[in-house]
Amino acid sequence: MATLALLGACSSEPDTAAAAPAPVRPKPAVKAPADETAAFAKAVSDGKPGAAVTIRYEFSGKPTLGTPTELDVAFIPSAGVDSLEATLTGMDGITLAGPLTVSFNSVESGKPYRHRISVLPDRTGVFYITASVNTKIAGSSLNRTFSIPFVVGQQTARVQQKPEPARDAEGEAIHPMQAEETTGPKQE
């Protein structure tokens, strides 16, 4: 009987609680680091194709006449870039302060390399900061120029006035006429 009881115990249905695998808990998703420069404006390149770097920038506040404003520039290299060097220059009406030349060695593709300078507007108007960037790719150099635009003060829309028409010898206004296309005489 004891043998039958043991056989009965062995042939009984397996205990599902003991046989069930432990629940697999999902691992927390590893978030990619947030791009700190995603909200930055994008600098305008010189129009040549093949820039090996993207430039993003942000002013710490609205540039104001006579008040220095910090400019945060992010240089983001493309794949294949080994190193980069940049020179920042201003135009008449603004003064740049801080290190105006920067270089980064052993750069990683897509990683922003940040640099800060101070910008002091001397007058109101539309201004540009030029970033000349030289990248090294497999021993070769590639140079591109970018513009960082900004406005100081209120810019009013200029009313475009019609130019005075040209005058003939008698002082009469000369009005341009629409050109008409004609064909020569019909040949037979």
Q: What residue ranges do the domains of the chain occupy?
A: 41-152
Which amino acid belongs to residue 43?
Answer: A
Contact status, residue 148 vs residue 129, Cβ threshold 8 Å:
yes
pLDDT at res. 23:
52
pLDDT at res. 16:
46
Q: How confident is the model at residue 11 (pLDDT cuts 50, 70, 90)?
A: very low
Q: Which whole number is the average pLDDT over 66-82?
A: 93
Q: Is 34 helix (H, G, I), strand (E, B) or coil?
A: coil
Instruction: Name the helix (H) or strand (E) containing 7.
Output: helix 2-11
Residue 42, token pair as written in the block: 């994008």
Q: Read out DSSP for 23-71?
A: PPPPPPPPPPPP-TTTTSEEPEE-S-S--SEEEEEEESS--BTTB-EEE
Rounded to the nearest angstrom, the gap between the alpha carbon of residue 21 and the centroid of all alpha carbons in its chain is: 50
Q: Does the pLDDT of residue 63 top 60, yes or no? A: yes
| C-alpha span between 150 and 94 (Å, rounded) | 11
Top-tier CATH class for 41-152: mainly beta
Q: How confident is the model at residue 1 (pLDDT cuts 50, 70, 90)?
A: very low
Give the highest mean pLDDT range of 12-16, 19-23, 64-68. 64-68
pLDDT, tens only, 147-162: 999 999 876 555 445 5
pTM over 0.75: no
Q: Is 21 helix (H, G, I), strand (E, B) or coil?
A: coil
| C-alpha span between 54 and 116 (Å, rounded) | 16
pLDDT at res. 26:
53
Q: Which whole number is the average pLDDT over 18-46?
A: 62
pLDDT, tens only, 137-149: 988 999 999 999 9
Rounded to the nearest angstrom, the gap between the alpha carbon of residue 107 and the centroid of all alpha carbons in its chain is: 18
More confident residue, 77 or 45: 77
- Antiparallel, parallel or unpaired: β 69-77 and 125-137: unpaired
